Structure 1
Amino acid sequence: MTHPITRHFIDIASESGTRRVHYRKCGNGGPTILMVHQSPRSSGEYEPLMQQWAQHFTCIAPDTPGFGQSDRLHRENPDINDYADAIVEFVDAMGLAGTVAYGFHSGGIILVTALRRHPDRFRALAIGGYAIWTPEEVSLFGRNYLPHFLPSGYGEHLTWLWNRMLEQTWFFPWFDTRNQTRMSVAHADPQRVHGAVMDMLAAGNAYRDGYGAVINAPRDIPSGDAPVPACLITAYNGDPLQAHIGRLGEIPANWEARKVVTPADHQAASAEFLLAQGGVSVERLPETDKAGFLPIRTAHFDGLIHWTGARGSARLVVHGPARSSAQADHAGAVAIDLPGHGLSDGWIGAAPTDWAAWQGVIDAAAAALGADDIVYEALPAGDPDLLYPDLTPDRHGSYLTRAWSIVRAERFFAPWYEASAANAIPFEEGAITPEALARAHLDRLRGVAAHSCHVARRAAGVA
């Protein structure tokens, strides 16, 4: 049985201001389990595990500050205590005090620090690989591990990003390309690399805050006689942190650390341990009324539609192909991301070229949001076959720079593929800053159903 994953936002108020947190939820029957992802990923990396564990738990996985769709922390140079406290703020806002929790690598370090600072918020932890860096490693990482990640005008940053994410499974640390740093888990799977690339593009340079806090975190394991909840730490063969099991030193009497063989062994041991601890259950979790995800089911679509804006407004804004609600002007209105665009789910099978299927989803979203005036962005001029070339992730990451070239050219020409004086269009200089191009580039990559959307709308004559 496949358990559906829902997505939500919650606004958390603190002394430093209100910040929005995005979280995923899966399962409805068992005790809650808080799942904290590694850096620089998002809660999306846990989707397969959430569906697996949902038979036992109600899985709740937030994006940590600055990653995925969660806001950054409102402070300069946050440290590991700040990220630990942010997780506890989330626990409190969600009503999860007393929950069990799971974290892998960076997520584990955040959770252990949170448990030490706030032991009453957790019943037990299961950790996948806990890093104990030597002073030499901290110094080496500090110089090389976290370069600034800023968009460049012509997309040069994308070549670095692809190879950085690809080769982190070839060498550890990723920048130390020597025979003795080769890893046993190397791969060249474009889809796996693409997932990490998309998370980095969403985080941008903010990745340095969360990742840096973890790398610079001191050994934070409670003393042997500390009255803290139980914890299991495991690491599998091929995990570079398996060797750190021998570096842990003294741990509390109710803690255990051991090596296992495979990732499946680690996950099974973690679930078995946490199930034995009990936990808390919740019936309804809070979320903001300013953005969210609508569960929509039609003949061709069964998934989540992202919405944002003034819920209750009569006007619903629908963006154009290869764009998203983030780019659409929806001031004083509500906006959605179409299927296969932005943060919304994709279609069941191939995206339809019958506009009735698209209109069915739009109408269902409008009804759920209470809107009855639907406004559509204009379609771009041009041939859909040329406007939306294939951007499937490839072995060498060339799709990233191809998409960047498109979003840059479409600021200067209409259609973008006709780069001639006759097709030149006026543009605003603010629209071609690297930051503005980066936002459009991310939407272009997410707009996997753009071609079908354009074809369907044009055939139906939807203005």
Structure 2
Amino acid sequence: MALVDTLSDPAGALQRASQVRVRRGFVDVSEGQVHYREAGVAQDSRLPLVMLHASPGSARMLEPMMRALAPGRRVVATDTLGNGDSSAPQEASGSIAYFADAHLRALDALGLERFDLYGSHTGANIACEIAIAHPQRVRRLVLDGVSLYSPEERADMLEHYAPGVALDQQGSQFKWVFDFVRDVYLFWPWYRRDAQHRRNLGLPGADELHDKTVEVLKAVRTYHIAYRAAIGYDKAPRLPLVRVPTLLACASTDMFMEYFDAVKALMPTATPLITPGQGTRDALLATARHFERFLDTPLPDDETT
């Protein structure tokens, strides 16, 4: 049963989501292998949903939303090259277009020709490029948190936000990565550690901090390549080129809320939505319900096969 039909019974929805098994695998690409997670089963009435994760980390961070949506569809989430368990990118300073092409090659290897597409932060940038370059493959697009940096912000963040990490025999990289992951929740941007830049968010649980830190550590040599591509991605000329039906979402607690109105102005045909986010179980279910309602709205002459 679809989640949208079960939100009147949130305990039941949570139980069903908790029972969803997330499977893992790899597909071959020219760079090596792309790691992916998969949940749910194919439905004749629904296209698969492809999910692209934020930086830093991996698709592991998408597992709660995957489980919430998977009872009604097949959900596939790939680790971006240079992140999680995927191979490193061939380009040491890759562009968003390069990472979009790499994801598409992985989806080709999985036999996914047409799909719905979700992207968060860096994943939203990559999803935009996929939708622009291959609109015939993307039925509906969900963008969850989109920034729109000024040239000055972009230059500052390219200099400070996602540096390469030096490895040493004292293990300083372990402490640096943990502080980096933690401080994103406390400050925006994380390296401006003062009262003016403090976020009123609070830290997630110790398990979530640990898991995200481990995912970044796996790819500590290469995590910054896709991150820097996202920071340097000039969305102002690109967002108006997105022609597929789009849900422009942003959590009320997201640091990118400050850009929401400006992004809306560049995508006047998109459906805007401020969500409660995914920080609690109730918020996750409510946000998933919004996403599912959008994805399940029929399009004219809709074909799902």
The reply to whether TM is greater than 0.5 is: yes
Q: Deviations over 1:126-150 (max 9, x none)?
A: 1111111111110110111012212
- Where does 1:396-411 land on structure 2 (aligned, <5 Å)? none
Q: Does 1:62 align with 2:78?
A: yes
Match of 2:164, SS state, is coil
CA gap 1:164/1:222 in 2 versus in 1, 3 angstroms: closer
Q: Give the match for residue 52 of structure 1.
A: 68
For residue 295 of structure 2, the aligned residue among 249, 259, 274 is 274
Q: Does the CA contact (< 8 Å) of 1:123 and 1:279 recur in 2?
A: no
Give the Å deviation of 1:253. Answer: 5.4
Q: Does 1:80 align with 2:99?
A: no
| CA distance in 1: counterparts of 2:121 and 2:145, whole angstroms | 5
Match of 1:213, SS state, is helix
* Paired AA for residue 64 in structure 1: T
TM-score by length of 2: 0.84
Match of 1:204, SS state, is coil
| CA distance in 1: counterparts of 2:270 and 2:242, whole angstroms | 11
| CA distance in 1: counterparts of 2:33 and 2:90, whole angstroms | 11
Q: Deviations over 1:83-129 (max 9, x none)?
A: 11112222222222220011111111110111112212211111111
CA gap 1:262/1:159 in 2 versus in 1, 3 angstroms: closer
Question: What is the alpha-carbon root mean square deviation over aligned residues?
Answer: 1.9
For residue 37 of structure 2, the aligned residue among 7, 24, 29 is 24
| CA distance in 2: counterparts of 1:109 and 1:198, whole angstroms | 24
* Paired AA for residue 151 in structure 1: L
Q: Deviations over 1:46-85 (max 9, x none)?
A: 1222111111110111111011111122223111110111
Give the Å deviation of 1:153. Answer: 0.7
Q: Does the CA contact (< 8 Å) of 1:97 and 1:120 recur in 2?
A: no
Match of 2:38, SS state, is strand
* Paired AA for residue 45 in structure 1: M
| Rg (Cα) greater in structure | 1
Give the Å deviation of 1:252. Answer: 4.8
Match of 1:133, SS state, is coil
Q: Give the match for residue 245 of structure 1.
A: 260
| CA distance in 2: counterparts of 1:227 and 1:237, whole angstroms | 24
CA gap 1:123/1:170 in 2 versus in 1, 3 angstroms: same
Of structures 1 and 2, the one scoring higher in RCO (CA 8 A, sep 6+) is: 2
Q: Does 1:234 align with 2:234?
A: no
For residue 90 of structure 1, the aligned residue among 106, 112, 118 is 106
Structure 2 residue ranges without an equivalent (≥5): 1-15
Q: Give the match for residue 357 of structure 1.
A: none
Q: Give the match for residue 87 of structure 2.
A: 71
For residue 141 of structure 2, the aligned residue among 112, 125, 130 is 125
Write 1 or 2 for the structure with the bigger share of helix.
2
- Where does 1:363-374 land on structure 2 (aligned, <5 Å)? none
- Where does 1:169-208 land on structure 2 (aligned, <5 Å)? 169-187=185-203, 189-208=205-224
Give the Å deviation of 1:257. Answer: 2.2
Match of 1:123, SS state, is strand
Q: Give the match for residue 11 of structure 1.
A: 28
